[in-house]
Amino acid sequence: MAGDGGLTPAGHQFGCVRSGNGSLMSAHGKTGPGQRVVIAGGGFAGFHAARTLGRLAKGRLDVVLVNPTDYFLYLPLLPEVAAGILDPRSVAAPLATCRGVRHVLGAVTDIDTGGKHLAVRDPDGNRRMVGYDQLVIALGSVNKLLPIPGVADHAHGFRSLAEALYLRDHLLRQIEIADLAEDRAERDARCTFVVVGAGYTGTEVAASGQLLTRIAARRRAGLAGQKLRWMLIDIAPRVMPELDPRLSAIASQVLSARGLEIRTGTSVEHASADGVKLSDGEFVPTSSLIWCVGVRPDPMVARLGLPMQKGRLTVDEYLTVPGHPELHACGDAAAVPDLTRPGSVTAMTAQHAQRQGRLVANNIAASYGLGSGGTRRRPYRHQDLGFVVDLGGLKAAADPLGIRLSGLPAKAVTRGYHLLAMPVNRTRIATGWALDAVFSRQLVQLGLVRSGAVPLTAGTPEHPGPPTTGAPPTPDSTG
């Protein structure tokens, strides 16, 4: 990349300066090894694709990973960051751990499939073009926004480190201010927390958030006897509607026993600074509206003009776009045929995204005769191994290989699964859990992320998405 210092590899020509502040990072156009493979998005799918391809290519391919942050975020542990159990850095795997891969810091703003290049904007607003010979689209998904009055102004989302840190501070702040409030109504409102969206994300956020506020309130003499009201709202008929009903039942039982109010078949009609009006007619005074209504695929893939299914890019079982052997997609952004359930596509889960990322890398390596499998490509086939849901404290729900677990066994499986799935930082995470088990939770606000820094948009603070209003809801997934 011209003028970027150190991004020009041997065997590639860069530096074709374009008008404006951009530069062209051109791909070679040769056949065989030495070509450039660009991976757009460094989440579950993109990170594992880059890591695998970098290892298989051993320097014989130019592997480039474009991502707006310099880390891969292990999203399933984000609720534990918000709960103050884990250090935020421990759930962020540096992209630098992908050997043989060059990271381009920035967001893809446009993909020209005819000209085989992407436009990338870095955090300082500089625009660059990056050419490719093969492209993996792994842009993931964005917050699902519903056009409900007041939500954009008064709710906060939950899919980035900044949002997790904001939520942690916000919850502690409500408790600390409630302690001082002389007005009973204000104290009650500050001690009321509403999570909208009872997918696995909303359920975990509510479970861990409730325990955090309980610990914080116990340390405040002024809140002795004060009720902490947590509500989990969803239009669906049960919590975690995307998972096995037996897991839902365990979660409902655990949360209800803790006094958390579960309102299924209910939605939000409007939100204001004073609270939320629910579709059942109740107005709930609160300063805490946490938006976990789910995700929809990144809208950028819709702009490609290629066949889509429910907002996801259509690919074949080899994760390649039909008619475009140089274009691949995986993870939440791709509609991957589920060969174990003919006629359906794979769910938007980390489990699929991670495996699809590895497979796409193997197939691309095979197209260059790299790797141990020769030039044979493999189709994607994966039977769900089950799901794990952390319910805070010693509780969890899990169904590894179809075996339903609750309580401590489920908790052990849940934590073991996350440790195995986390590519780095395992010792840091295990140490965080051990410290939390032995010492009392450290409750201090850091004050680093203020409300305005984490607006509820389709994107994340690191990569803001389109504006809030008007985004059509899609039925893809919750959680």
Ligand X SMILES: Cc1cc2nc3c(=O)[nH]c(=O)nc-3n(C[C@H](O)[C@H](O)[C@H](O)COP(=O)(O)OP(=O)(O)OC[C@H]3O[C@@H](n4cnc5c(N)ncnc54)[C@H](O)[C@@H]3O)c2cc1C
Give the footprint of ligand X on this chain (CB under 6 A): 40-46, 66-69, 75-76, 78, 107-108, 138-141, 158-159, 200-201, 298, 300, 331-333, 348-351, 353, 463
Distance CA 129, CA 151 (A): 36
Q: Which is nearer to ligand X, 68 or 131 (CB)?
A: 68
Contacts of 49 (CB under 8 A, 6+ apart): 39, 136, 138, 330, 357, 358, 360, 361
Beta-ladder partners of 196:
233, 291
The nearer residue to ligand X, 105 or 249, going by C-beta atoms, is 105
Question: 200 or 368: whose CB is closer to ligand X?
Answer: 200
Smallest separation (angstroms) from ligand X to the CB of 48: 8
Q: How far, CA to CA in Å, does 424 sit from each of 35, 71, 72, 279, 421?
A: 29, 11, 10, 44, 9
In angstroms, rounded to a whole number, what is the distance separating the alpha carbons of residues 187 and 171? 13
In whole angstroms, the minimum distance from the beta carbon of 41 to ligand X comes to 3
To the nearest whole angstrom, how small is the minimum distance from the Cβ of residue 459 to ligand X?
7
**Residue 64, φ and ψ in degrees, nearest 5:** -120, 130
Q: Taking the CA atoms of 267, 270, 272 and 275 in sequence, report the sign of the dihedral they define.
A: negative
Q: Report the nearest approach of ligand X to the CB of residue 47 (Å).
A: 7
Q: What's the min distance (Å) between Cβ of 143 and ligand X?
A: 8
Strands (E), 14-139: 14-17, 23-25, 36-40, 62-67, 71-73, 92-94, 101-105, 107-112, 117-121, 127-131, 134-137
Which residues on adjacent β-strands are paired with residue 285? 275
CA distance 275 to 285: 4
Q: How far is the CB of 348 from ligand X (least distance, A)?
A: 5
Closest approach, Cβ 347 to ligand X, in A, equals 8
- Of the pair 37, 107, the CB lying nearest ligand X is at 107
275 or 479: whose CB is closer to ligand X? 479
Dist CA 179 CA 258 (whole Å): 22
In the complex with ligand X, the residue whose CB is nearer, 262 or 292, is 292
User: Looking at beta carbons only, is 141 or 287 nearer to ligand X?
Assistant: 141
How far is the C-alpha of 156 from the C-alpha of 174, rounded, in Å? 15
CA 147 to chain centre: 22
Position with the least CB separation from ligand X: 43
